[in-house]
Amino acid sequence: MKYILLFFTFFSFAQQTQFVHFKTVDARLTINSDQKMISGTVEYIFDVLKPVDTVKIDAQQMIFSQVKLNGNLIRFDVNEKQLLLIAPFQKGKNSIEFYYQAHPKKALYFVGSKAANNLQIWTQGQGKYTSNWFPSFDDVNEKLTFNLAISFDNKYDVISNGVLKSKRTSKDQIVWEYQMKEPMSSYLLMLAIGNFEKKQLVSKSKISLEYYIEPKDASKIEPTYRNSKLIFDFLEKEIGVKYPWEIYRQVPVREFLYAGMENTTATLFSTSYVVDSVGVVDRPYSNVNAHELAHQWFGNMITATESKQHWLQEGFATYFALLAEKEIYGADYFYFKLYETAQQLKFASRTDSIPVLNAKASSLTFYEKGAWALFVIHQELGDKKFKKVIKNYLKKHAFQSVTTTDFFNEIKKVSTFDTTKFSKVWLESVAFDTHKANELLIKNINIKKLLEVEKMKSKPLLEKEVLFSKLLQSDVYFKLKEYIVNQVKNEKYEAKKQLIKEALRTNNVYVRQVVAASLPIISEDFRLEYETLLNDKSYQTQEIALLYLWRNFPNERHRYLDQSKTWIGFNDFNLRTMWLSLALSTEDYSEDSSALITELIEYSSTNYEATTRQNALEKLIAFEIITDEVLINLVNATTHHMWQFSKFGRESIRKLLKNKDKRVSFERILTNLNPEEQFQLERLLKE
């Protein structure tokens, strides 16, 4: 016990990195997908900087054996969160080797199965801790070089950080050996296992760029990764520092927790961004793509020392992603995005009491206000000095941890810009400096016009109709036209009819989509024109238009359903599930409603991703198609690793339980559930 007491006393006063520096790790790992287990042999090389009697490695609920220090077995202890190495560590180089096993409850996820031929395994370290699946370091300041050799079924591809040095076949397994050259924080360690096809390009600087896709989605690789190489080449030039790693991969994985994650050399992202040539209109991957790539410099190459400094990662990645989108879509896009986030920040500042430089700041604050802060600095310094600051900042602190002071120090070297005053306004205050924001935004002529339109909100339509009509027929940026449509949204149809028709005639898919959404009630004399929205190359527009037309014109329902019966939509089947629910609710439409019900229920099953399942379950509940199978699928949702989907499941069950008959049905299916599902349902029944 005394060793453990000494350990906790020590760590209450100092970070381990002041006493021990871990330099490299070599691991040989095996993954058992049936048992959802990972195991392997791990060897760390580390330097002891000052004598210490206990060294820790973070390890969540793991089993260890054969723990050796410099080749000799040593005493160790294990608690639920750490492996404790107990020895009189003296200054100098050391190695520690051990075998471990883990059944991770988070951070390593198993999706699908080998039996169903849809298995994927992937990791998420940030926010979840890599120490759930690999003995490592939750402290981001402990940076080291990772080298993994992963053994898995030879029918699957295995992706990890760094360069693939070798693939060795051993019986029905392949050992994939990956190596890194430079150090990184443990939260950036990754695995992705599945069946993928790959497209390979080379950047202007000769970095290998690998774009992965599932074989079933092979036809979507171009629209999904559109502009990817352009983004890479632009960011490398704009940042002014060569991409800091040897290779860059991007891999879409099913049931991913977030939009994307910037693991070093290998970004994982949600399959919701895997799109065809129509889906890319509404779900372009470009922003997430550029944001995660920017993190390879801001976050991976240099890492914020603590959560309080998180804007140095998210604010920077958000801003440089926006600069990349400016390169693709133009200056108007850039300024309108800044305007929209400024509006969000201004509104949020009324209730948000936490500034940027605070570990508890919201995502909006870290990301968008952080990006705005950088925009202000960029404008104040000018492009040449700003780029020099960024370049010097990255080069000086390469592969180290940083603070805001480190960034400000580089600004002071090239400018008299008052960083203290700036910090108080943009980083330490909860207020949003609207005056400064508008001063910078009106440099764009279309923003200037937008602000004039916004000032007319409270004026009668008659006073602004001529101006609005003129703008809708002009070549102003389409976003301005969207704002006009939204401003007249609550006007009576007869009064705004001409403006709405002019908005449709812009033939801009986004302006037309706003028109579609603004008219839940459609006048008969506008029906034919509104019906043209069904032909727009936008799955989102088609979904809105189909629903609103079906609701407004009962006598035309069969025709609308015939026109849309082959629609699928995004990869979450948004149009197909919509169509099925409408077809089942349309009198005398289908002679075989049981087949439609079966199909819709199938989309709510575990054979599909959470987004598809939620789409189907929402429609099944809304249209009161609630069988025992639907209830079982709904209960299963409460056990899902995606919190949004599990929350939807719980909230939907709570609403249904208010109905006595539904409560009886839930009680009846209890015996058909697995233990985890039973636990969740019983808890809800007792509320």
Q: Are 559 and 586 in contact (CB under 8 A)?
A: no
Average pLDDT over residues 495-516: 98
Torsion angle defined by CA atoms of residues 392, 394, 397 and 401, in that order, rounded to the nearest 10 degrees: 140
d(CA 656, CA 681): 12
Q: What is the pLDDT of residues 113-146, one digit of tens each?
A: 999 999 999 999 999 999 999 999 999 999 999 9
Q: Which residue's structure tokens are 């069904």? A: 534
Helix, strand, or coil here: 243?
A: coil
* Whether residue 1 has pLDDT greater than 60: no
Contacts of 411 (CB under 8 A, 6+ apart): 377, 381, 389, 417, 419
d(CA 504, CA 287): 27
Q: Which of 533, 528, 486 is nearest to 508 (CA)?
A: 533
Q: What is the pLDDT of residues 240-286, one digit of tens each?
A: 999 999 999 999 999 999 999 999 999 999 999 999 999 999 999 99
Which residue type does 554 have? Answer: P
Q: Which of 300, 321, 298, 201 is nearest to 250 (CA)?
A: 201
Contacts of 402 (CB under 8 A, 6+ apart): 302, 303, 304, 305, 309, 312, 393
* Whether residue 666 has pLDDT greater than 80: yes
pTM of structure: 0.95
- What local confidence, expressed as pLDDT, does residue 170 receive? 82
Q: Cα 274 to chain center, whole Å?
A: 13
d(CA 570, CA 539): 7
- What local confidence, expressed as pLDDT, does residue 686 receive? 94
Sheet holding 260-261, edge to edge: 197-202, 208-213, 247-253, 266-270, 260-261
d(CA 443, CA 378): 14
Beta strands 302-304; 400-402: pairing state: parallel
**Model confidence band, residue 11 (pLDDT cutoffs 50, 70, 90):** very low
Compute φ and ψ for 81, nearest 5 degrees: -120, -15
Q: Are 193 and 156 in contact (CB under 8 A)?
A: yes
Q: What is the 3-state secondary structure (H, E, C) of 462-514?
A: HHHHHHHHHHHCCCCCHHHHHHHHHHCCCCCHHHHHHHHHHHHCCCCHHHHHH
CA distances from 376 to 299, 370, 628 (A): 21, 10, 57
Compute φ and ψ for 231, nearest 5 degrees: -60, -45
- What local confidence, expressed as pLDDT, does residue 497 receive? 97
* Whether residue 656 has pLDDT greater than 70: yes
**Model confidence band, residue 12 (pLDDT cutoffs 50, 70, 90):** very low
Task: Please give the full DSSP string across 290-329, using - where no structure is assigned.
Answer: HHHHHTTTBTTTEEESSGGGTHHHHHHHHHHHHHHHHHHH
274 backbone φψ class: left, alpha, beta (φ>0; ψ -120 to 50): beta
Q: What is the pLDDT of residues 189-223, one digit of tens each?
A: 999 999 999 999 999 999 999 999 999 999 999 99
d(CA 258, CA 128): 12
CB neighbours (10 Å) of residue 559? 12
Average pLDDT over residues 389-416: 98
Average pLDDT over residues 468-484: 97
Average pLDDT over residues 382-387: 98
CB neighbours (10 Å) of residue 451? 13
d(CA 345, CA 352): 9
- What local confidence, expressed as pLDDT, does residue 15 receive? 72
Of how many residues is the chain composed?
687
Beta strands 52-58; 37-48: pairing state: unpaired
The helix (run of H) or strand (run of E) holding residue 65 is: strand 62-69
Q: Are 317 and 292 in contact (CB under 8 A)?
A: yes
d(CA 252, CA 274): 7
Contacts of 587 (CB under 8 A, 6+ apart): none
Contacts of 228 (CB under 8 A, 6+ apart): 201, 209, 211, 250, 289
* Whether residue 78 has pLDDT greater than 90: yes
* Whether residue 10 has pLDDT greater than 80: no
Average pLDDT over residues 57-86: 97
Over the range 631-660, which residues count as b (16 or more CB within 10 Å of their CB) and which as e?
bbbbbbbbbbbbeebbebbbebbeebbeee
- What local confidence, expressed as pLDDT, does residue 655 receive? 96
Structural domains in the chain plus CATH codes: 1-193 (2.60.40.1730), 196-292 (3.30.2010.30), 302-443 (1.10.390.10)
Across the chain, what does the average pLDDT equal? Answer: 95
Q: Are 419 and 405 in contact (CB under 8 A)?
A: no
Q: Which of 95, 239, 246, 97 is nearest to 182 (CA)?
A: 246
Over the range 476-503, which residues count as b (16 or more CB within 10 Å of their CB) and which as e?
bbbbbbbbbbebbeebeeeebeebbebb
d(CA 473, CA 687): 57
* Whether residue 592 has pLDDT greater than 80: yes
Q: Are 159 and 191 in contact (CB under 8 A)?
A: yes
Q: Which residue's structure tokens are 């099944």? A: 620
* Whether residue 32 has pLDDT greater than 70: yes
